[in-house]
Amino acid sequence: MSIQETIRTEMTTAWKAGDTVRRDALRLLIAALENARIEAGRLLEDADTIRVLQKEAKQRRDSITEYDKAGRSDLSAKEQQELEVITTFLPTQLSDDEIRDLARGVITETGASGAGDVGKIMRPLIAKVAGRADGGRVNQIARELLGG
């Protein structure tokens, strides 16, 4: 069963169970996936679906940060609930230590030696984490390892 089919099944289950928070979050995901399908002009594969889910998760994280800054804990809590639903469909995220190990390998492979080489290692590193880590976190760890 594809990720999209799973999301639709979960939405129906949440609806029947009366879980309005989960149902509404899944409806938003279904709408985002449908918009992405229309934009792409084709059916989405699981890799495309994961990219859409990651984008939606990032939007929720950004919103949570902004709502917290504005003192809107009610809106922040709603976004947090949606984020929790979204993350159930994403691949297991890598820990910082796992990202560091991958980054060290890429640094060795590319011969990167200083902060100026961050760009040199990011493309292969992002390819290795392939949706299992936030790009900002990966970049931060790469800069840390290269002394930047």
Residue stretches of the chain with pLDDT short of 50: none
Please list the residue range(s) of the chain that carry CATH number 1.10.1510.10.
3-87
Between CA 54 and CA 108 the distance in angstroms is 29
- In this prediction, residue 112 carries a pLDDT of 79
Name the architecture of domain 96-145: Orthogonal Bundle (1.10)
- 3-87, CATH topology level: Hypothetical Protein Yqey; Chain: A; domain1 (1.10.1510)
Give 83-117 pLDDT, tens digit per residue: 999 999 988 888 889 999 998 888 888 887 777 87
pTM beyond 0.95: no
Please list the residue range(s) of the chain that carry CATH number 1.10.10.410.
96-145
